[in-house]
Amino acid sequence: MYYSPYRTQRKQPSKKGYLMPFLVILCVGIIGVLVFNLWSFIFGGRSVNGAYLHILQGSVQMKTWNTQDFFGVSSDALVLQGDEFKTSADSKIIAEFFDGTVMRIAGNSDIVLSVIDDSAKSPAISLLLVNGKVWVNKVYGATAGATKVEVRGGSVVAKSDKQSIFDFENETGDALRVVAGDAVNMDILNEVGDKVVDNEIVGVGQEVLLTDEVMKSYWEFKSPSVLSMLSDTFKVGEFYLWNIGEDKNPTKFVKSTTGDGQFVRVEPEVIVPVELTVDTDGDGVPDAPAPTTTDVTNPDGEKVNSTVKDGTKATMGVSVTTTVPGSLPKTDVVSKGVGAAPTVVSVAGLQPDSKGVYQVTANPAVIVGNPNGAVAIVVNGLQLKKFRAGDKNWSYFANSDYGFMKEGENTYEIYGLDKDGNKTPTTTIKVFYKKPAAKPVVTTAPVAPKTEDATKPQ
């Protein structure tokens, strides 16, 4: 057979020939996805829930997610996850979230909304407080208590997944103050801010001020003592007074939209504050309020007796069940008379008068005592959570602002518990509280300027 030397030989296809169509299809797919996401972002908005900013006073500058420039926003603006906004010096801003959580923001504040997750399984709100003050109210929303709220400052993260009202500040240093509801957890981060080095539980009526010196102690693993009662300076401040007024008579802003999806401002209406509820049996249904019992949280303690649906009281220690005809069974602590009763050292730094009554004018009146070997101390049915076995002293903050002391005579029953939960004998003291008289306002008359005597020789 004759083969022409000029005949073109057939080449085998290379690997590149197979890859090129695949790469083209892949690139087209990626471009398509990017175009679709861009279109959805511009015209469809982000598929996450947000918060509505109500500007009561001042102004707000906002920077949306993945942009660089700030721009002014009007009242009732919708802010979404990833947005950052700054308030003017004279601002009073209210932010309402999907679950009814309310945050009130002071002037000169800079906030980044890190996370807004409205999922049924794990609702969460997380924000970075770059600078300023924020007041968090997780009480009024029907589901706000279940939402995990985190507020991060410089090197601190405040966490609440219960019904709490707290103030968080990040200015010259971080500060956390719990005003009502449940305690708030506080994580102390290391210098880099990526690991937790310590944790504090801040109860109602307590505050933590974290200066540079305090943070240095944490970073050196010294666990400084930082908890104290709410300061009078804080309680007379403008931010505190505004928020307390709003908590008692909150302003509700009704959100609505027109047919074209535009937000429409609706005038605010005053709503009645919602009572705090307790779910003691863990069935997800708040307990009905007892007719004669009020559950409270001690500024320095936790509940020992909590009312439950069947009328039974949850108790500590050795217990027996007694039945009164026509009533439900009732459980109570039985004293075995173990150990000595706790003793009281002083109340507000004072000793009792000749009748054995402590006469005080300070609020709160701090009751300090000796545990006498007890591993737990209970005051008026509330166990002191900051007291630890082996501590030489215990303290109870009798604060009239939170119902733990009233004007006139107050009675405090104090007992201890041993390691088996047995109750010691009870020490009873009486404290008579009288509000100090208001200081009179002293005004000084203006001094007339001196005049030269015309008759006096020069």
Is 386 a member of any domain?
A: yes
Helix (H), strand (E) at residue 217:
helix 212-219
Give yes or no: residues 229 and 362 share one domain.
no
Is 360 a member of any domain?
A: yes
Give yes or no: residues 194 and 62 share one domain.
yes
Give yes or no: residues 333 and 388 share one domain.
yes
Residue 260: burial class (beta carbons within 10 Å; 0-12, 13-18, 19+): exposed
Give yes or no: residues 199 and 326 share one domain.
no
Q: Span 226-246, mean pLDDT?
A: 90
Q: Which two tokens stand for residue 341?
A: 């009763």
Distance between CA atoms of residues 47 and 316, nearest Å: 49
Q: Map tokens 């709100």 to a residue.
A: 125
Give yes or no: residues 248 and 294 share one domain.
no
What is the β-pairing status of strands 60-63 and 71-73? antiparallel
How many CB atoms sit inside 10 A of residue 157's CB?
21
Give yes or no: residues 291 and 241 share one domain.
no
Distance between CA atoms of residues 136 and 299, nearest Å: 18
Residues 339 and 418 sit within 8 Å (Cβ to Cβ): yes
CATH number where 335 lies: 2.60.40.10
Distance between CA atoms of residues 63 and 79, nearest Å: 10
Is 191 a member of any domain?
A: yes
Is 356 a member of any domain?
A: yes
Q: Map tokens 């310590």 to a residue.
A: 198
Nearby residues of 228 by Cβ (< 8 Å), 6 or more positions away = 206, 207, 208, 209
Give yes or no: residues 295 and 244 share one domain.
no
What pLDDT sits at residue 424? 92
Is 112 a member of any domain?
A: yes
Confidence category of residue 20, pLDDT binned at 50, 70, 90: confident
Is 36 a member of any domain?
A: no
The most confident of the ranges 9-13, 91-95, 290-294 is 91-95
- The 10s digit of each residue's pLDDT in 302-338 is 433 433 333 333 332 322 232 223 333 332 333 444 6
- The 10s digit of each residue's pLDDT in 270-284 is 444 444 444 334 444
Residue 80: strand, helix, or coil: coil
Is 43 a member of any domain?
A: no
What pLDDT sits at residue 327? 30
Domain extent at residue 209? 51-252
Give yes or no: residues 223 and 315 share one domain.
no
Is 299 a member of any domain?
A: yes
Cis ω on the peptide bond leading into residue 371 (within 30° of 0)?
no
Nearby residues of 397 by Cβ (< 8 Å), 6 or more positions away = 205, 229, 298, 299, 300, 364, 366, 404
Question: What is the percentage of the chain residues whose pLDDT exceeds 90?
Answer: 34
How many structural domains compose the chain?
2
CATH number where 205 lies: 2.60.120.1440
- The 10s digit of each residue's pLDDT in 186-205 is 999 999 888 999 999 999 88
Give yes or no: residues 328 and 199 share one domain.
no
What is the C-alpha radius of gyration for the chain, rounded to an integer number of angstroms? 32
Residue scoring higher pLDDT (178 or 77): 178
Give yes or no: residues 433 and 307 share one domain.
yes
Backbone torsion region of residue 421, taken as left when φ is above 0, otherwise alpha when ψ lies between -120 and 50, otherwise beta: left
